[in-house]
Every structure is written in C-alpha cells, then in structure tokens.
Structure 1
C-alpha cells in the first residue's frame, strides 16, 4: 500500500478529457457515455496500442523498487491470443542505471495520461498476476492534476495490488492528503481455501461515484469507502483520473526477490475497460453477474429476437442497460424480453421492441435478484456456466450465484 511514485515524464502531463473514449448515447439518450476498452488483440510480439497507452521509462527510488521500466516490446507485448503480457526479467541488456547502482531487473509500466481519463464509472481489469517473493503487480489510477498539485494531493485509487508474499490476497486502497503511503485507507480480499490469484484470471474493479468507491473481485464487493473514512481530511476523488498498469520488482512493501523467485515473471492482462456517465445513474450501466461478467446483447445486434447472454465486460453499448421506472430494462433502444411471454423454467430472454407487456417487466431486488413478476422467476445464467456466450433465461429463484446481479 505504499505509493509508487510517478515517473518524471508524467510530471508535466495534465489530462482534461477522455480523448480516445468513444461517445455514444445511452438507451434513453438521457446521458452521453464515455467508454474505454482494450482487449489487447493483435499479433504476437506486437506493441500495445499507442493511441491508448504510453510506456513509462526509468526506475523508482521512492519505494526502493529494483526494476527499470523499459519502452518497446521487451517487457510489454501482446501474445497474439488477446492478452497484454507485462514481463519482469532478471537482466540488464542496456546497462540501465538505477538508484542503487546497475539495475538488476527490467519490467514495464503503462499509463493512459494524455490519452484517456475518466471521472466516475465502473473501472475494471481482468488479469492473471504473477507469483513469487518480491513481485508487485498493480492496476491503479492517479488524478490528472498531479502535474500541478503533486502527490498525494492528486489522489490515488489502487484498484488492485498484490505483493508476492501474499499469494491469496489482493488489496484496494485510496491515498490522498494526510492518508498516503502506509497510512492509505483500504482493505484486502482473500480467496477461499488457500487458492492463489496467480492460478487463474480474475476481474478486479471499482465502482466509483461522487463520494463513494466500491472495490470488487469477480463481482464480489469487499469494501466501500466514502469521505467518512478519511477522518475529516480532503476527499481527493471527485475529479478525473487516468489509468496505470505495472509490474514492479521489489520495494519496501513486497521486499526484494530471493532465491525462490522465478524469472521471467508475467502479469497477463486480458482486458481493461472503463464505463463512465455524464450524470451518475445508480439505475443504469453494466449489469454484472456470474464470474464478474456482464449481461450482453449478442454481437451488439439490435434486431428483435437477438439472444441476451453472459460475456466479458467490455464497456460497449451492448452492455449498457437502463432500468426504467416503468419496469423495463433497456439496451440499444430495445427491451429485455422473455421469449413469447413464457413463464416456464428455461424460457430464454432476448432483445425486443418495447411493447409494454408483462414479458418486459422486471423488478430488481435489494438481494440482487432480477425478477420477472409475471413468471415470478429470476434472470438466470443457463447451467451456471460462466463461459462467454452462455444464454440467459428465467428460472425459479434459488439464490444461486448465477441469479445474482449488480446493476450500474
């Protein structure tokens, strides 16, 4: 939870808008949305999209980290399978110099400063972190005013940090004036049964609104922070922030690598997405469920009868839903509909012209159920299957994870 210092190249960069975001109208045209999405598609060995990301270079004396961050593709490259791979290596091919002398490791750090920023919304990354003593992967954000106000006045939101000596635990933290570094405000989240985060991909996210930040892992919210948590000090998070991904080696918090640490070590990033809104709307946005995935209109096709499915959250219009006061749930200008007005277990749901029928009426409960009152059944992931493309249906409400949803 110690702050990773901003490298010199960023100190003069200010961001005032989501320059590379895609603006589009929500289903009701009530508020324009700005989205950022990178699924890291490209040829194996190619560089990240330079219109979205900047590679920082240099070392970091503030935390006593051991790596030198490089440009190019030596330490950050696409794998040809839809992933960004950030690789920490025990090497020094160019005689890089660090605060402690000749550098022992190389790695990479990417940011969206000057290219994308957001104020509020759902911010997430699906990643598989490395294992090993001294590893310090992170997905985090800094206030765009850092060049003028400095850190920690800029604010820092750590969506996910892991230190290698805690393989089962990740941390979410905020840093601001008077509560920074080891005094940052946050909490940890641990996997059950001694599972290690390095064993599989997980989705790390914050839901960020005025005076509120909620952290989640795989859709499970594990902490919420508000101005009440900073003991009367300045809440530094009601303004634009940009994104950062990095894999540090060593430092005060994780400690240095030792003989048990295997190199190269890799942080594998499947996707990063941000969905924001001009006017925060608790009744609209993405609907997240099983395995942290989203309710999605197949192929973003607005045609009547298009299947509604579970899919990796990507911030597109096909996953932006508005829950209306009339009981409808809308995306792409159409309504979530029970096929043929059916009431039987297993009846699929689809997108269809809004028509005011009971097949298009839904109730979102405080227990996170989405219920079709006509059938008295819940929106359900078929077969409890978290695979992309799994069709959604209605089913007798059971309280299972495949029937629990987070709206907005």
Structure 2
C-alpha cells in the first residue's frame, strides 16, 4: 500500500531530476510566476541505504532478509515478557505497518527469569543483515500506552559479540515508559555511562498530548563525533565527545538496528490493574539515509561553478559559496526527508532564520527549523519558503568564494541551479 513516506523518500526520484537538468547556465529572463514546485525532501533516493515500509499481506512475517527475530526473556532489566518467534507477536497488518503486539498470555508454557512467563511480545534486529556507520536514522511509529509498557527503537555496535555491552555502545533513538505518555527519551550508553548513567534527554509533546494518539517520526542525525536527536523534525538534543567528561566515545563505527516492545522492568515498572492488553507498537517505516554519501550531487550555478562549503569545514556558521567544481564532499549535496539540503552531515541554513534580501546562507547543525527548508521549482530556483526568496549568488559575481545568500526571486542567471 502506497503511503506518504514513500513519496518523501523513494518515489520522486533523484536530486538531478528535481533540478531540471541543463547543460549550461541560462540567460537572465523572467520565469513563469507559478512554476510548479516540489520539496527538496523529495530528492536523493540513491542515498537511502536501508528502507522497510512493511508492505505486504495482513498476517505476513517481516522481511527475513532485513530482520531477524530474537526469542527469550531479559533478566538484565527484569522485564516480564517472553519474546516469541513467528507472527503472533510481530506481523504486517496489510496496510503498510509492522505490528508488534504485547499480550498477557503464556500459550506455550514459556519460562522466564521469575518463573512462568506472564506476557509475550517481540523484538527484531538487523544484526548480520544491515548495519550503518553515520547517516539519518528514523522510524515513524505509533507507540502503545499503559503502565509497564516500554517500546524502543535503538542501535547496538556490531562488535557487541567481541567487546560486550556497554563497550559496544548503544544509541537509543526513542524509548518511552508508559507512566510518561507525553514524553520520549534519547540516550547514549557506553563504558562508564551505561544503564541509569546513560547520557540523554527527553522530549515532551505540548498541551498534554500523548504519543500513543498518533504516529510520530523519531530520528537521529549521526556523524563523526556527533549525534543529534529529533521528533517530527524538531531537534531536542545533540551529543558529542565533550559531553562524556573524558570517557570514551564509542559511536564512530557500525551499528545495527533494533525494534522491540518490552513489558515491565526496572525503569517502567510492572503493568498494573490499569494496563489494558493487548498493546501494540505500529511501525510505519524504518529508514537509514546517508546524508553525505558519494551519491550526493554537485549543484551548479553561475558560470558553471558549484555550491561549495568554504574550506570543506563542517563547523557551524561556515559560509556556503560559489567555487570551481572539484568533486569533493564539500560540493556533494543530498536532500533530507524534512526538506533540507545537506553536505558534510549538516544543513544549508539561512543565517539567524533571516528573511531579508541579502541574508547569507551557511552550514549549520540540522535543527528542523524553517531556515533549513528548501523547495526546488521547475524553473530551477531553490527557494526558502519562510522568506519566499531564492538562493542567490551575491552581486551576480562568478568569482570563486562569492558568498551565497537569499534574495527576492528575479529569474536571473545568478539564481538558476542545475546538477552537473
């Protein structure tokens, strides 16, 4: 079943298709005022390295080439569920979702650390099937509700079997404990900062909304020495080695993905009389997109020169400029699902969220703001909708190092962009 996230990530083609290919810069001329537009987010299917949209018939198992199913209990956290194989606790619903179901039952006499198991559920991972090192990692999900419920989307280092936990590292993209219906948590665990000592933060919905009431997108943008968490595109924390107080950063290596729904445990506490079963975790999609993959495209403009990150410097505030095309990572741009244009793991950003003519553009941490959203028109403009202005070469100057800015759209050659 086709769903909106497919349009965002896969079906609208690559960046080169969006920036209507042209062999040379066109002369300045007036363009149609109502040129059709598409979000920059529609771009760069090539940069998607993992995608599961859980399309298939109702009752079918997940794709075994992408996921394996874990079985057994978990004494380490004092969780109450037994993770089963098969499709009773993890199956497709025929509407483009994976459904992980927690039930109060023990149909096969399963034994848990505390005796006869009281609950069943499911836990899936991509170990041995897929791992990633850096990129945009996200899942769109609708979580369960109730005391004792503990859904999670997270990652472990692929060297887990060699170095053990927590030396392997753990990145929790999203965890929720049922007694906090409006809050989710993102956390890192490593040597000397694991378990209750993990380093993280929470994100709370406004006005008492509950995460169980609707689908939400949970993501991290992961780069060397940096992990940034967001919910529905809103960034709420960023962690770097500076946050560890001298302890070891163990996140510059491959990790695999995990989805599970636990019942009970030290953190959420056990279910009580208020908890209704069954409870479900609905997963709409899981994807990993590499934001600075070699598949990223050069964006050419005035005099055939390229949009370039000055000095290939990934620091916040680095100017974005016009420069001779050279094929480096500083000139490879990809598009995120949130309408961003990205290079070197960061976003093309209008400085201070400005909307005035002449506001410069720069590289900045992706933060989900309107200053980092772009639309590509059929007329080959790149427009920031918040300002309703075009990406522009300052002063129509083709010299190397000319700063890029936003400016009222004029149809001039210094506002026309192609892939080359």
Q: State TM-score, norm by structure 1.
A: 0.66
- Give runs of aligned pairs for residues 96-175 of structure 1, distance below 5 A: 96-175=110-189
Which of residues 275, 285, 294 is equivalent to 2:334? 285
Q: Secondary structure at the match of 1:89?
A: strand
RMSD: 3.5
Deviation string 1:28-53 (CA, Å, 9 cap, x unpaired) is: 9xxx8461000000000000000000
- Aligned positions of 1:193-212 closer than 5 A: 193-212=207-226
Contact in 2 for aligned 1:48/1:76 (Cα 8 Å): yes
Query: Match for 1:89 among 80, 88, 103?
Result: 103
- SS at 1:167's partner residue? coil
- In 2 relative to 1, CA 148–371 (structure 1 residues): closer, same or farther, beyond 3 Å? same
Query: Aligned to 1:221, what secondary structure does the other structure show?
Result: strand
Q: Give the structure 2 partner of residue 338 of structure 1.
A: 377
Residues 339 and 359 of structure 1 are in contact (CA less than 8 Å); yes or no, is this contact kept in structure 2?
no
Kindly tell me: are residues 340 and 152 of structure 1, through their superposed partners in 2, closer, same or farther at Cα, counting changes over 3 Å?
A: closer
Which among 154, 171, 179 is matched to residue 193 of structure 2? 179
| Highest RCO, 1 vs 2 (Cα 8 Å, sep ≥ 6) | 2
Cα pair distance change 1:105/1:212, threshold 3 Å: same
Cα deviation code 1:119-163 (max 9, x no counterpart): 000000000000000000000000000000000000000000000
Distance verdict in 2 for CA 1:165–1:64, change over 3 Å:
same
Q: What is the TM-score when the length of structure 2 is the normalising length? A: 0.65
Task: Write the deviation string for residues 254-306 of structure 1: whole angstroms up to 9, x where unpaired.
Answer: 000000000000000000000124579687333344xxxx579xxxxxxxxxx
Match of 2:56 among 36, 39, 42: 42
CA contact (8 A) 1:361 1:372 kept: yes
The structure-2 alpha-carbon separation of the partners of 1:359 and 1:183, relative to structure 1 and needing over 3 Å to count, comes to closer
Judged with a 3 Å threshold, the aligned counterparts in structure 2 of structure 1 residues 195 and 57 are, in CA distance, closer, same or farther, namely: same
Tell me by how many angstroms 1:376 deviates. 7.9
Asked if structure 1 preserves the Cα contact closer than 8 Å seen for 2:381 and 2:391, the reply is: no
Structure with greater Cα Rg: 2
Unaligned segments of structure 1, at least 5 residues: 1-23, 297-319, 328-334, 350-357, 364-369, 378-408
Distance in 2 (CA, whole Å) between partners of 1:286 and 1:341 is 15
Question: How many equivalent residue pairs?
Answer: 299
* 8 Å CA contact retained: 1:338, 1:359: no
SS of structure 2 residue aligned to 1:193: helix
